[in-house]
Structure 1
Amino acid sequence: MAIHLHKGDLPDGLGLGPVVAIDSETLGLNPHRDRLCVVQLSAGDGDAHLVQFAPDTYDAPNLCRLLADPEVLKLYHFARFDVAVMEYYLGVRAEPVYCTKVASKLVRTFTDRHSLKDLVREFAGVELSKQQQSSDWGAETLSQAQMEYAASDVLYLHKVKAGLDAMLAREGRTAVAQACFDFLPARAWLDIAGWAETDIFAH
């Protein structure tokens, strides 16, 4: 495994294939208050690329081009948050997307365990450490432990997707999962625009 740290943007000419696993690290869970600090990506090849942002420096044309590329599937765990925070800070809407948390909730109805840690254990046989989850991602220099934690959040998503896809197909839920994925960018926009806690479909 190799971890590549980039300051401010992905390097020119980097290709990550047709399906890219993506995650983010922020200073909290409120995008209006808690800034985007790191975006991590993997092509599923065992390597991870981390883009670290300094405060108020979000001009990242290479990353934005990838997020907006209609030919690249963006693979997340809990896409609702990551898509929203990246749209808020980078000004780009990621499409198309796939969310392993949504897929898990649709097809792993025998359990209430849908965390990334649970899915990676089941489908990749790897036990993730979450010790750095609440660390200071706004620090000027990331520790080795932070970089390894960030990388681990994307390194196994392709395997998780493969396992979930097989279950969705088996249970006849692939189409409804795709409909949910198609709606996710709009759901993320609603969160940013102020409808995070309002069910607009309710009576």
Structure 2
Amino acid sequence: MTIHLHRGDLPAGLDFGRAVAVDTETLGLSLVRDQLCLVQLSAGDGDAHLVQLDRTSYDCPNLKALLADTGVEKILHFARFDLAMIEKYLGVTMSPVFCTKIASKLTRTYTDRHGLKDVAREIAGIELSKQQQSSDWGAAELTEAQQQYAAADVLYLHQIRDGLAAMLEREGRSGLARACFDFLPWRARLDLQGWGETDIFAHT
């Protein structure tokens, strides 16, 4: 595994292929209060690229171009949050997407454990550490432990996607999953506009 830390933006000319794994780190989990600090990416080749953002400007044209490219599938776990953060701070709507958490919930109906750690263990045979999940991602210098944690969240998403896609196909739920993935940008916008905790489809 090689971790590449970039400050401000991705270098020009990087090619992530037809699908890129994406994750974000923020100052917290509030879309109103907490800023986007880091975007992690991987082509599924064992390398991770971490973009430590300039939170005074979010001027990162190469990163934005990649995330906005409709010819590149973005693979995320709990994409709803990441899509909202990226739309709010980078002004980019990511599409198409594959959310491994939604895919897990549509296929792994024999369990209620759909966190990345649990899905990675079953689908990819990988043990992920979540020790650095609650750390200061706004720090000027990221520790080696933070970088290792951030990288691990994207390094195995291609493998997890492939495993879950096979399960979706087996259960005849691929079309249902795709419809859910396509709705995610709108779900993110509902969150950003204040309907995060409201089930607008409910009768009451």
Is residue 140 of structure 2 the alignment partner of residue 104 of structure 1?
A: no
Deviations 1:72-130 (A, max 9, x none): 00000000000000110001111111100000000100000101001111122111111
> Which structure 2 residues correspond to residues 166-177 of structure 1 after superposition, within 5 A?
166-177=166-177
Q: Which position in structure 1 is the counterpart of 2:6? A: 6
Tell me the CA shift for residue 193 of structure 1: 1.2
Deviations 1:127-186 (A, max 9, x none): 111110001000000000000000000000011011101110110000000000000011
Of residues 19-28 and 115-124 in structure 1, the stretch that sits farther from structure 2 once superposed is 115-124
Q: Please, which runs of 5 or more residues in structure 2 have no aligned partner?
A: none
Q: Which position in structure 2 is the counterpart of 1:147? A: 147
TM-score w.r.t. structure 2 length?
Answer: 0.98
Tell me the CA shift for residue 57 of structure 1: 2.5
Q: Which position in structure 2 is the counterpart of 1:186? A: 186
Do the aligned residues in 2 keep the contact of 1:26 with 1:37 (CA within 8 Å)?
yes
Tell me the CA shift for residue 202 of structure 1: 2.2
> Which structure 2 residues correspond to residues 1-203 of structure 1 after superposition, within 5 A?
1-203=1-203
In structure 1, give the amino acid aligned to 2:75: L
Aligned residues: 203
Q: What is the CA RMSD across the aligned residues, in angstroms?
A: 0.8
In structure 2, give the amino acid aligned to 1:2: T
Do the aligned residues in 2 keep the contact of 1:54 with 1:140 (CA within 8 Å)?
no
Residues in 2 aligned to 1:138 and 1:34: alpha-carbon distance in whole angstroms: 10
In structure 2, give the amino acid aligned to 1:106: L
The sequence identity of aligned pairs, in percent, is 68
Residues in 1 aligned to 2:201 and 2:31: alpha-carbon distance in whole angstroms: 24
Do the aligned residues in 2 keep the contact of 1:38 with 1:52 (CA within 8 Å)?
yes
Residues in 2 aligned to 1:159 and 1:106: alpha-carbon distance in whole angstroms: 17
2:75 is paired with a residue whose SS is strand
2:159 is paired with a residue whose SS is helix
Residues in 2 aligned to 1:120 and 1:170: alpha-carbon distance in whole angstroms: 19
Tell me the CA shift for residue 56 of structure 1: 1.9
Do the aligned residues in 2 keep the contact of 1:81 with 1:188 (CA within 8 Å)?
yes
TM-score w.r.t. structure 1 length?
Answer: 0.98
Deviations 1:45-69 (A, max 9, x none): 0000000013322011111111111
Q: Please, which runs of 5 or more residues in structure 1 have no aligned partner?
A: none
Residues in 2 aligned to 1:175 and 1:126: alpha-carbon distance in whole angstroms: 28
